[in-house]
Chains A and B, each alone.
Chain A
Amino acid sequence: MLNEEKSRSAEKKTKFYNIHERLGAKIVDFAGFQMPVQYSSIIAEHKRVRNTVGVFDVSHMGEVFVRGSKALDFVNHITVNDASKLFDGRVQYSAMCYPDGGIVDDLLVYRISDDEFMLVINASNIEKDFNWMKENNKFDAELINESDDYLLLAVQGPDSLKVIQKVCNKNVDLEYYHFMFAKIAGIDMIISRTGYTGELGYELYFKGDEADAEKVWNALFDAGKEFEIEAVGLGARDSLRLEMGFCLYGNDIDKTTNPLEAGLGWITKLKKEDFIGKETLVKVKEEGLSRKLVAMISEERSFPRHGYDITIDGKKIGHITSGTVSPILEKPIALGYVEKEYAVEDTRVNFNIRNKEVPARIIKLPFIKK
Chain B
Amino acid sequence: MNIPEDLKYTNDHEWIKVEGSTGIIGITDFAQGELGDIVFIDIDPDQGEVGSGDTFGTIEAVKTVSDLFAPVSGKLVEVNEKLQDEPQLVNSDPYGDGWIAKFELTNLDELKNLMDAGAYKDQIGQ
Contact = CB atoms under 8 A, between A and B. Distances in A.
Interface string A1-36: 111010000000000000000000010000000000
B13 A2 contact: yes
Interface stretch (B16-24, B62-70, B73-81): B62-70
Contact of A302 (B27, B31, B40, B66): B40
Contacts of A301: 40, 42, 84
Contact of B63 (A42, A302, A354): A42
Contact of B35 (A2, A43, A303, A325): A2
B62 A239 contact: yes
A357 to B, nearest CB: 14
Given A2-B66, A42-B36, 14 more contacts: A1-B13, A1-B14, A1-B69, A2-B34, A2-B35, A3-B66, A42-B37, A43-B62, A302-B60, A303-B39, A303-B60, A324-B62, A325-B40, A354-B58
B65 A42 contact: no
B60 A1 contact: no
25 contacts: A1-B12, A1-B14, A1-B27, A1-B31, A1-B59, A1-B69, A2-B12, A2-B34, A2-B35, A3-B64, A3-B66, A26-B36, A41-B36, A42-B36, A42-B63, A43-B37, A43-B88, A235-B63, A301-B42, A301-B84, A302-B42, A303-B39, A305-B65, A324-B62, A354-B58
A153 interface: no
A326 to B, nearest CB: 10
Interface string B35-59: 1110110100000000000000011
Nearest to A354: B58
A42 B67 CA distance: 21
A125 to B, nearest CB: 22
A37 interface: yes
Contacts of A42: 36-37, 62-63
A352 interface: no
**B-side interface size class:** 20 to 34
Nearest to B40: A301
Contacts of A37: 63
Given A38-B36, A41-B36, A2 B62 contact: no
A26 B66 CA distance: 19
Contacts of A239: 62
Contacts of A2: 12-13, 31, 34-35, 66
Nearest to A239: B62
3 closest Cβ pairs, A-B complex? A1-B66, A303-B60, A1-B12
A1 B36 contact: no
Contacts of B84: 301
B67 A1 contact: yes
A239 B35 CA distance: 16
Contacts of B67: 1
B64 A41 contact: no
A20 B117 CA distance: 31
A45 B31 CA distance: 20
Interface in A290-311: 301-303, 305
Nearest to A4: B34
Chain A CB within 10 A, most for which of B36, B60, B62: B62
B12 A325 contact: no
Interface in A37-53: 37-38, 41-43
Contacts of A303: 39-40, 60, 65
Contacts of A354: 58
B34 to A, nearest CB: 5
A150 B17 CA distance: 52
A38 B14 CA distance: 23
A1 B31 CA distance: 8
Interface string A245-258: 00000000000000
